[in-house]
């Protein structure tokens, strides 16, 4: 499945790039991200809760950033699995300066979605992925514009989500994003809304 | 005669039970059983690196978790190759639980047993399987490139290539049918009980063959056959997918019941059915045909690829049927057919109602239409000129059919069928209708398709009939029932043959406790096989009844007749004896159990003192068992015509008329035959216009739910107009041929023909959607 999209963020390219590579920011802005653990250079293990309404699942996986060309581009590879399915995604994220100190972020992703979600929800995945990506960027924008003060200081190896929902992601159970291109992975996982318990 | 039931369109006796919620399906059984759920592969092709079950262990109610490592004895071996074939040089069957490698999404990797299904699924969700993904092969194009060949078969009669080369006219066609699946309303299901004290196993399973499941389980589980009982309750549709056995779950559920000493049940859910049962239909055909200026076939060369999915448990029956049955009612001239059956990382392919015939008929009928178009001839004329004529019967094609026996048609009258079809649909008047429609700005088209269907494949079926002392007649046959109406037609045969009221007859199927030797219900064989076995057994019972009654009435048996359950002397209606009394007399008793049976006790019966109560060649009881085993299949035939309208703007396709003429020999029950045809046509329409299995390039099934896998509703199934021809089969005592698959077979072919006629666009691939048709216009 291929997903492409873009978003305009209210901050300069350098700052946006830094935020999209900052686990402390990501853990707060990715809807449903519970835990982010650094396991190497530019490599993280994550736990994400995603779903819609009463239907939730917990997914665990790894994210690796590569081909960094700060502040213009990077590549993110993510793999995750949970009861409703599996996701393997590769996303190329590019940043470009826009007018009035803004940044245009574009992502171009290819994802393999397996398991239950692959069979029953794939038709709507791209749509939901783009929607949740939009929510993610909105949350990042909130961080950029200082609407939400950062609650994580320093550089700990494990980032956990503050137990206060951020203003810009009030319903973080509705979808998941992960980093700028992790937005894609999260979106895909977030799209696992069609999972059914049994006996359908 | 009131007991003359054969041929009567009586209502199905099972329907009041089935349509009022009194059916008893697999999931209605075993409320006390613990439940199984399965962890299935999310990857089309992967190595299983690790299975971490620790997360599941905390689930309250968990009973057991099994992976391949836990399997014991022959359960750890691959599942059986059910139908070996010399051309299947690289067969492959699955392990009940994946060992090392998974080859399609949905392959079972771990089994969880818990106190209920919810907990079993909760526990299954907590099992973490690590995979190393491998490159998948998906679809026929990729399969051709990967060239992982399971089977390769060539059959040839005459020198087809030379005949085509020398022919005045030649055509080349590429014809494709996409993958689909049969989708019975009820999925698979297994419920097993192990009696440890008795060392016996009873298994209930939603199958098309209880007797074969029994033998397979006895072998797999190392339990003596006489300690295994397999019972098939009401089955909510089979359509071929349930002839496959034993399924991984069908082995694992009884195996777990034996290990746990508790009843275990598993009921398949719809998504499991999509990704872990079986599919069919996907084939890509290349046709070279040579013909004379009148449209007569001189040579036909068909080369096709068959996507057999990940495993080949059912052998190569589907492509073998395509290869032979595509010939239909025609003489092909010289014929050559070659196929390759290719592995892909998709669900295995096994027969689905029609079983390779819809593809074969599509190939042949598209070829016929192409020849007609090439020569500017009417499509019916080209067909007529190629028909096998009635006086050429029996007609031997010189090929080997799916039962390993000659492809020899036993009887049929194809010109008469075509005449009936033309009359029914108004073929000759259609041009006028088309003009009229065109004047109204409407686009209409007409198509037809002909087929011949080998039915009633062997090796055999049997039946046991007993007349009880109450006068009730119990008929048992080993094959299973999935809604075909066996309780009705076998009772009709029994009533007719035995001379009893149908109300007295009870029919039992699919229960190995009642009849142990059988093959199964598939290939339009139940009526032919068990129907004739029932007739033969009934004739034996009747002969015995006449003998006993003759002795009692002191008349010659040949002077007796049976009607309404009473044996009487011909021409002397007062001299009579009910069959219930004959049943009493048939069993010499020492101990009576009611007033009636006192007549059979030792001081009550007369008879000579120089004979034992039971003669040396006799047995007690008014009952008999007999078997029917045909020398080869019997070939039914039919022709369908459809009138379609296509929307000039949206390309929506509507079926205005659908006409069927059908010849399945003598009809046991015309109403049931029509019902079978109607259901088949509905599936044929689904296969032509709606249903398809869609995989992405990674082997993920994209439409694994009824949200996206479209099945026709009543609103999409046209009114079906039918007419029958009855050409009896000379091969069996009742002169019947099978009818179960008939309706579905020409669906894709006839609708392609009609849409092509409406649009003037050549159609070479089915199914077709309005979007596809719309794209083809531009």
Q: Please provide the DSSP assignment of B638-698 as one string.
A: EEEEEEEEE-TTT--EEEEEEEEEEE-BS-S-HHHHHHHHHHHHHHHHIIIII----B-TT
Tell me the pLDDT band of A79, cut-offs 50, 70 and 90. confident
Q: B43, A86: Cβ pair inside 8 Å? A: yes
What are the start-end ranges of the E strands in B214-282? 228-231, 264-267
Count of CB contacts below 8 A, A vs B?
68
Q: B42, A199: Cβ pair inside 8 Å? A: no
- Supply the pLDDT for residue A195: 30
**Among partner residues A88, A114, A120, which is closest to B271 by beta-carbon distance?**
A120
The yes-or-no verdict on residue A153 having pLDDT over 50 is: no
- Supply the pLDDT for residue B105: 96
The yes-or-no verdict on residue A28 having pLDDT over 90 is: no
**Among partner residues A57, A86, A200, which is closest to B42 by beta-carbon distance?**
A86
- Supply the pLDDT for residue A164: 41
- The residue with greater pLDDT, A40 or B237, is B237
Give the DSSP H/E element, type plus range, for residue A14: helix A13-20
Q: Which residues in chain B touch residue A112, judged by CB atoms under 8 angstroms apart?
A: 698, 700
Query: A87: nearest CA in chain B?
Result: B42
- The residue with greater pLDDT, B537 or A191, is B537
The yes-or-no verdict on residue A198 having pLDDT over 70 is: no
- DSSP letter at B279 equals B
Per the structure block, which two tokens stand in for B538?
């009934």
pLDDT means per 10 residues in chain B (778 residues)?
79 95 96 97 96 95 97 98 97 98 98 98 94 96 96 97 98 98 96 97 98 98 98 96 97 98 97 96 98 98 98 97 97 97 98 97 98 98 98 96 93 98 98 97 98 95 97 96 96 97 97 96 94 98 96 92 94 89 93 87 78 90 97 96 97 98 96 96 97 94 90 94 96 96 96 98 97 95
Between CA B59 and CA B39 the distance in angstroms is 15
CA distance B700 to chain A (A): 6
**Residues A16/A96, Cβ–Cβ less than 8 Å:** no
**Among partner residues A81, A112, A116, which is closest to B271 by beta-carbon distance?**
A116
Q: Which residues in chain B touch residue A111, judged by CB atoms under 8 angstroms apart?
A: none
The yes-or-no verdict on residue A17 having pLDDT over 50 is: yes
- Supply the pLDDT for residue A147: 64
Q: Which residues in chain A touch residue B705, judged by CB atoms under 8 angstroms apart?
A: 119-120, 200
Q: A115, B42: Cβ pair inside 8 Å? A: yes
Q: B118, A198: Cβ pair inside 8 Å? A: yes
Between CA B81 and CA A138 the distance in angstroms is 57
The yes-or-no verdict on residue A189 having pLDDT over 60 is: no
Q: What is the pTM of this model?
A: 0.91
**Residues B317/B402, Cβ–Cβ less than 8 Å:** yes
The yes-or-no verdict on residue A168 having pLDDT over 50 is: no
CA distance A147 to chain B (A): 39
Burial class (CB in 10 A: 0-12, 13-18, 19+), B129: buried
**Residues B626/B476, Cβ–Cβ less than 8 Å:** no
Between CA B179 and CA A61 the distance in angstroms is 34
The yes-or-no verdict on residue A178 having pLDDT over 90 is: no
Determine contact: B733 vs chain A, CB below 8 A: no
- DSSP letter at B530 equals H
Q: A119, B704: Cβ pair inside 8 Å? A: yes
- Beta bridge partners, B636, equal B453
Task: Identify which of A63, A33, A46 has the alpha carbon closest to the alpha carbon of residue A132.
Answer: A33
- Supply the pLDDT for residue B590: 87
User: Of A110-119, A178-187, B455-464, B689-698, where does mean pLDDT reach its minimum?
Assistant: A178-187
Query: B706: nearest CA in chain A?
Result: A120
Q: B274, A119: Cβ pair inside 8 Å? A: yes
- Supply the pLDDT for residue A27: 83
Give Dmax (Cα) for chain A.
Answer: 54
Query: A81: nearest CA in chain B?
Result: B128
Chain A residues with at least one Cβ partner in B under 8 Å: 1, 57, 81, 83, 85-86, 88, 112-116, 118-120, 122-123, 196-200
Determine contact: B105 vs chain A, CB below 8 A: yes
Q: Which residues in chain B touch residue A1, judged by CB atoms under 8 angstroms apart?
A: 696
The yes-or-no verdict on residue A196 having pLDDT over 60 is: no
- Supply the pLDDT for residue A162: 55
């Amino acid at each position: 499945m291929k997903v492409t999209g873009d978003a305009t963020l209210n901050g300069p390219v350098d700052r946006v790039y830094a935020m999209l590579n900052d686990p402390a920011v990501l853990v707060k802005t990715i809807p449903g991200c519970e835990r982010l653990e650094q396991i190497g250079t530019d490599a993280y293990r994550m736990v994400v809760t995603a779903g819609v309404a009463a239907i939730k699942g917990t997914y665990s996986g790894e994210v690796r950033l590569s081909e960094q060309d700060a502040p213009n581009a990077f590549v993110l590879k993510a793999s995750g699995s949970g009861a409703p399915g599996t996701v393997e995604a590769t996303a190329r994220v590019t940043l470009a300066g826009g007018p009035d100190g803004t940044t245009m972020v574009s992502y171009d992703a290819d994802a393999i979605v397996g398991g239950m979600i692959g069979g029953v929800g794939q038709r709507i995945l791209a749509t939901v992925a783009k929607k949740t990506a939009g929510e993610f960027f909105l949350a990042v924008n909130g961080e950029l514009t200082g609407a939400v003060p950062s609650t994580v200081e320093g550089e700990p190896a494990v980032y956990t989500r503050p137990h206060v929902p951020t203003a810009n992601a009030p319903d973080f159970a509705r979808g998941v994003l992960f980093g700028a291109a992790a937005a894609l992975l999260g979106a895909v996982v977030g799209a696992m809304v069609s999972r059914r318990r049994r006996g359908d | 005669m009131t007991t003359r039931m054969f041929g009567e369109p009586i209502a199905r006796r099972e329907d009041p039970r089935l349509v009022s919620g009194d059916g008893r399906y697999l999931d209605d059984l075993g409320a006390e059983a613990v439940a199984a759920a399965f962890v299935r592969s999310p990857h089309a092709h992967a190595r299983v690196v690790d299975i971490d079950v620790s997360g599941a262990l905390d689930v309250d109610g968990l009973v057991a978790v099994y992976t391949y490592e836990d399997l014991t004895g022959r359960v750890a071996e691959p599942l059986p190759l059910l139908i070996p074939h010399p051309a299947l040089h690289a067969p492959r069957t699955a392990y009940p639980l994946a060992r090392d490698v998974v080859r399609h999404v949905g392959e079972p990797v771990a089994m969880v047993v818990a106190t209920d299904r919810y907990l079993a699924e909760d526990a299954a969700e907590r099992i973490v399987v690590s995979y190393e993904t491998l490159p998948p092969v998906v679809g026929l194009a990729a399969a051709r490139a990967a060239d992982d060949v399971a089977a390769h078969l060539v059959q040839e009669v005459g020198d087809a290539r030379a005949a085509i080369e020398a022919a005045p006219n030649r055509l080349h066609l590429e014809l494709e049918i996409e993958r689909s699946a049969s989708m019975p309303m009820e999925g698979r299901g297994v419920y097993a009980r192990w009696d440890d004290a008795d060392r016996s196993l009873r298994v209930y399973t939603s199958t098309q063959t209880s007797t074969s499941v029994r033998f397979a389980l006895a072998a797999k589980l190392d339990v003596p056959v006489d300690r295994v009982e397999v019972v098939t309750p009401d089955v909510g549709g089979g359509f071929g997918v349930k002839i496959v056995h034993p399924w991984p779950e069908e082995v694992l559920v009884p195996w777990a019941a034996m290990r746990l000493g508790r009843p275990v049940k598993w009921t398949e859910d719809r998504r499991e059915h999509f990704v872990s049962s079986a599919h069919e239909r996907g084939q890509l055909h290349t046709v070279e045909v040579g013909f004379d200026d009148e449209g007569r076939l001189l040579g036909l060369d068909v080369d096709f690829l068959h996507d057999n999915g990940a495993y080949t448990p059912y052998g190569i029956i589907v492509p073998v049927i395509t290869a032979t049955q595509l010939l239909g009612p025609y003489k092909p001239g010289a014929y050559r057919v070659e196929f390759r059956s290719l592995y892909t990382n998709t669900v295995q392919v096994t027969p689905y109602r029609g079983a390779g015939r819809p593809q074969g008929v599509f190939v042949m009928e598209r070829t016929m239409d192409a020849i007609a178009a090439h020569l500017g001839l009417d499509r019916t004329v080209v067909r007529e000129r190629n028909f096998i004529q009635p006086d050429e019967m029996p007609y031997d094609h010189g090929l080997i059919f799916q039962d390993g026996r000659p492809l020899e048609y036993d009887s049929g009258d194809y010109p008469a069928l075509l005449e009936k079809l033309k009359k029914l649909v108004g073929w000759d008047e259609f041009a006028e209708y088309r003009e009229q429609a065109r004047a109204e700005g409407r686009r209409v088209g007409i198509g037809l398709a002909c087929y011949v269907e080998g039915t009633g494949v062997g090796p055999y079926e049997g039946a046991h009939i007993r007349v009880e002392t109450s006068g009730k007649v119990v008929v048992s046959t080993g094959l299973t029932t999935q809604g075909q109406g066996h309780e009705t037609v076998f009772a009709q045969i029994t009533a007719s043959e035995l001379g009893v009221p149908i109300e007295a007859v009870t029919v039992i199927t699919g229960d190995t406790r009642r009849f142990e030797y059988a093959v199964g219900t598939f290939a339009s064989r139940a009526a032919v096989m068990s129907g004739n076995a029932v007739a033969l057994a009934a004739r034996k019972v009747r002969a015995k009844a006449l003998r006993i009654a003759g002795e009692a009435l002191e008349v010659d048996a040949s002077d007796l007749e049976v009607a309404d359950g009473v044996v009487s002397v011909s021409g002397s209606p007062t001299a009579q004896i009910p069959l219930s009394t004959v049943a009493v007399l048939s069993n010499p008793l020492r101990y009576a159990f009611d007033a009636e049976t006192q007549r059979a006790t030792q001081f009550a019966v007369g008879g000579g003192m120089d004979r034992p109560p039971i003669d040396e060649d006799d047995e007690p009881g008014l009952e008999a068992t007999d078997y029917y085993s045909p020398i080869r299949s019997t070939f039914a035939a039919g022709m369908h015509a459809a009138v379609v309208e296509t929307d000039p703007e949206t390309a929506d396709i509507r079926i205005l008329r659908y006409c069927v003429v059908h010849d399945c020999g003598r009809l046991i029950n015309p109403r049931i035959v029509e019902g079978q045809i109607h259901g088949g046509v509905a599936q044929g329409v689904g296969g032509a216009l709606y249903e398809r299995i869609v995989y992405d390039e990674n082997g993920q099934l994209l439409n694994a739910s009824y949200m996206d896998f479209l099945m026709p509703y009543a609103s999409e199934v046209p009114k079906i107009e039918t007419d029958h021809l009855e050409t009896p089969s000379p091969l069996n005592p009742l002169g019947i041929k099978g009818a179960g698959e008939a309706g579905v077979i020409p669906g894709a072919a006839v609708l392609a023909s009609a849409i092509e006629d409406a649009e003037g666009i050549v159609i070479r691939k089915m199914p077709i959607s309005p979007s596809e048709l719309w794209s083809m216009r531009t």
